[in-house]
Amino acid sequence: MSELPRGLSKHAFEVEAAVELGVPAKRLRARDLVCPSRGLRVPSGRVQSILDLARPHLSLHEGDFVSHVSSAEIHGVPLPPWAEFRPDDGGPVTAVVEPVPWGPKSGPHFREPGRFLHLSRHRHLSLPRRKGVAGHRLKIRDGDLMELHGVVLTSVARTWVDLATMLPMDDLIVAGDAIVSEHARTFGPPRIAMVTLAELHEFVAKANGVHGVRKARLALERLRVGVDSPPETTLRLVLDDAGLPEFTPNFPVPDVLGKPVWTDLGCPAYRTCLEYEGLHHLSPEQQALDAYRDQRISEAGWRQVKINKLDMKRGPDWVVARVSQALRKQGWFR
């Protein structure tokens, strides 16, 4: 079996481009190549990023662009596991065109968006219809599209509005919190927002007629700046939905010397703060830092509640009960 040209041996490529380089048709039918869609080939066993797969798809039809959950993943916007990109390894994945119900539901009428590469065209054109592709038609305005490493995709702000057509409200808020998150603390590098909250407000205000904008406007009112991870947003939403006092992300608790102790969520009205503890809190170094932080918070007269993955798995009632108990000890009554 002959070797493929260097530019084709690692990434998805167009059959037409391979033929132009002199690759014979028989070589393009070899078992070490996978056919994800008509006119395309992918070297078998090579992990392909969405950018790698999208680039030859877009070259097959001028004007196509990456959108929805595919665009979100390229931008680094967090998605629920069922929406993350994982194309099928086995049986055929047929083309999907909107409208299709998406989401973590069972039954033959619901599909997982992560099984498809999501491509869109301007709304006056025909839908993309290819194996392994979910096709959409969108109303596109100036500033809705951008280019990254040769791939055209929707901007971060436009992607978030489009996600409103696919994600449940809580997952949309988690994605939005990650997009607008920014902070500068007394430790670590500053975090820069993908899109500032003010810019996102301006974008959504001007998105009249864009599918999903009504839901996006509702979600926008619940976004908060400063979160470090999706679990922090999920925790905040659980407490908000239960009617507990509002907790502010990335809250600086002043210690007895007036220096800030940064907490994941803080409620100054009742001097109560929360920490979501991920796996990195298990290291000896981090545990030593956490012990010092805990001491400073306690000496300042604040009560701290630590929540982890196991707490969240036990459900909202468990988490709300733990936080409510701490709030009551700090003077909250309901």
User: For residue range 208-232, what is the model confidence (pLDDT) as tens digits?
Assistant: 999 999 999 999 999 999 999 999 9
* C-alpha 294 chain-centroid distance: 31
pLDDT in tens, 224-275: 999 999 999 999 999 999 999 999 999 999 999 999 999 999 999 999 999 9
The rounded percent of the chain whose pLDDT value lies above 70 is 90
The stretch 138-147 carries a mean pLDDT of 94
Alpha-carbon distance 175 to 79, whole Å? 7
Does residue 27 register a pLDDT over 90? no
Alpha-carbon distance 307 to 323, whole Å? 9
Does residue 109 register a pLDDT over 60? no
- The pLDDT confidence band at residue 282, using thresholds 50, 70 and 90, is low
**Rounded (5°) CA angle 2-5-8:** 110
Residue pair 113/83 in contact by the 8 Å Cβ criterion: yes
Does residue 22 register a pLDDT over 80? no
Q: What is the mean pLDDT of the chain?
A: 87
- Residue 185's pLDDT is 78
Is the alpha carbon torsion for 33, 36, 37, 42 positive or negative? negative
The rounded percent of the chain whose pLDDT value lies above 90 is 59
Distances (CA, A) of 284 to 202, 290, 296, 310: 45, 10, 19, 20
Q: Give the range among 19-33, 148-162, 255-269 with minimum mean pLDDT.
A: 19-33
Does residue 90 register a pLDDT over 50? no
CATH T-level fold of 230-329: Endonuclease; Chain A (3.40.960)
The stretch 163-185 carries a mean pLDDT of 95
Find, among 32, 66, 63, the residue nearest to 52 by Cα. Answer: 66
Alpha-carbon distance 90 to 167, whole Å? 26
Alpha helices in 92-220 (DSSP H): 156-163, 169-180, 197-205, 213-220
- Residue 283's pLDDT is 66
- Residue 204's pLDDT is 97
- How large is the C-alpha radius of gyration of the chain? 24
Most confident of 10-24, 176-190, 245-259: 245-259
CB atoms within 10 A of CB 26: 9
Backbone φ, ψ for residue 308 (5° rounding): -130, -175
Find, among 70, 80, 10, 22, the residue nearest to 46 by Cα. Answer: 10
